[in-house]
Structure 1
Amino acid sequence: MLAEESADYHATPLAWAAGVALLAPTILLLLGIEVTAPDMSLFGGWTADQVEDVGEATARAALVGTLLMQGLLFVATLFIVAIPPVRRALTPRGFKRERVRTRAEEQFLSKNLHATRERTGVLIYVSAAERMAELIADEAIHAQVPEDTWDRAMSVLVAGLKRGRPAEGFTAAVALCGDVLAERFPSRPGDNPNELSDAVVLLPRA
């Protein structure tokens, strides 16, 4: 199964925009920007009311300036990070791995790979945008095969993808998985139905 992308990662632009916006006060301090009250000494000094009014105006100006900068940073960051390549690059790899794994599991169930007679369905799932792959084996074959047994199949698959030859990678990986299945679950003459489609399934973006 080949998916264009396993998730839209819509939370990534929002998270980055919020994080950058919260830096506005720090940015103002680093730039040395200060809001100061005017010198009133030339007008005979300040009264208590003037000091209070000027203090309120100064605090209000600082607050409004900070909020404006936060708003601008939020909007600018949101638009920049929303660009697909940027969004994918700034999404944590662990989160992308989790989404790829989750969608692979969803597809394993939705395509009824868990419904074979001997519970030996195997899904090879590739998510192109994330450049990640997952291999999911049903419970019967999973119980008999150590986890690292599938490493070789995944290695040839990834090698084919890196060379820009996904068809070759898929073919080699499927062949290796077939060898594992044939060894652990040899076919019975006259009783070996083909329960799953042999076609590569192409999935649109999630």
Structure 2
Amino acid sequence: MPISNADQARISAAIHAAEQKTAAEIVCVLARRSSDYLYVAPLWAALMALIAPWPLVIFTRLDIRTILVIQTLIFVVITLILSYPRFRLAATPRAVKRARAHRASIEQFFTRGVAGTRERTGVLIFVSLGERYARVVADEGIAVKISDEQWRCALDLLLAEVRRGRIADGFVAGIEECARLLAQHVPPGGAEELPDRIYVI
């Protein structure tokens, strides 16, 4: 587990304290990674297996049967190497990882009920460790008042601590900065609608 039960309790307490300053609802999600990228291993293996025979045909006198055996071995070996999640993640293009993490943040926004608050004042703080991705997703009642650039400060505080391995400290700092921004536009009041907790997926 990326964070301990004690750290989760600290984050829950930070959310509770933040929501005393604003009527907005804050939900946190920490993902180990946003996808398994299972298709990456066979794609890279197939590409290398298709490329490999050409130098063998041009620069060697190997017969076609031997080349086919080598081609098959290349496919199998690369697939096995990339079956390890760390290697598979490293082999996935950055743009693909960012797109998948972005999609996961939107999915979590709806899955955790952040889009269902009465005044449309839900805020999701999403971090995906494998992709090194973080995002604040705000519902329309807040998005019209606080720009992505303003959320950037909260994300910078969060990511600075996450890079040092202090995930809980990062979330607490990010939550406090989000509360400061939210308090300026969404004053306290209203009923509690969502649990004060972090979801670890």
Correspondent of 1:24 among 52, 56, 60: 52
CA distance in 2 between partners of 1:81 and 1:201 (Å): 28
Residues matched between the structures, number: 173
AA paired with 2:35?
A
Whole-angstrom CA distance in 1 between matches of 2:31 and 2:172: 17
Q: How does 1:38-77 map to 2 (within 5 A)?
A: 61-62=63-64, 64-77=65-78
The alpha carbon displacement at 1:164 in A equals 1.4
1:12 counterpart residue number: 40
Name 1:180's counterpart in structure 2: 181
The answer as to 2:83 corresponding to 1:85 is: no
Name the aligned partner's letter for residue 73 of structure 2. Answer: L
1:102 partner amino acid: R
Match in the other structure for 1:161: 162
C-alpha displacement of 1:173: 0.6
Q: CA deviation at 1:3?
A: 1.1
Q: Separation in 2 of the partners of 1:27 and 1:11?
A: 26
CA contact (8 A) 1:108 1:136 kept: yes
State whether residues 17 and 73 of structure 1, in contact with CA within 8 Å, keep that contact through their aligned partners in structure 2.
yes
Q: Which of these two proteins has the greater Rg computed from alpha carbons?
A: 1
CA distance in 2 between partners of 1:128 and 1:109 (Å): 20
Partner of 1:193: 191
Q: Which residue of 2 aligns with 1:146?
A: 147
RMSD: 1.4
Whole-angstrom CA distance in 1 between matches of 2:78 and 2:165: 33
Deviations 1:29-63 (A, max 9, x none): 46x2125xxxxxxxxxxxxxxxxxxxxxxxxx42x
Q: Which amino acid counterpart does residue 179 of structure 1 have in structure 2? A: R
1:34 paired residue number: 61
Q: State the Cα deviation string for residues 150-191 of structure 1 (Å, max 9, x = none).
A: 000000000110111111110111111112211111124xxx
How far apart are 1:11 and its partner, in Å?
0.8
Unmatched 5+ stretches in structure 2: 1-28
Q: CA deviation at 1:119?
A: 0.6
Deviations 1:104-149 (A, max 9, x none): 1111101110111211111111112222212111111111222201
Provide the rounded CA distance (Å) in 1 between the counterparts of 2:136 and 2:57. 50
Instruction: Mark the runs of 5 or more structure 1 residues left unpaired by the alignment.
Output: 36-60
Greater relative contact order, per chain length (Cα 8 Å cut-off, separation 6+) = 2
SS in 2 for 1:124: strand
TM-score, normalised by the number of residues in structure 1: 0.79
Match of 1:46 in 2: none
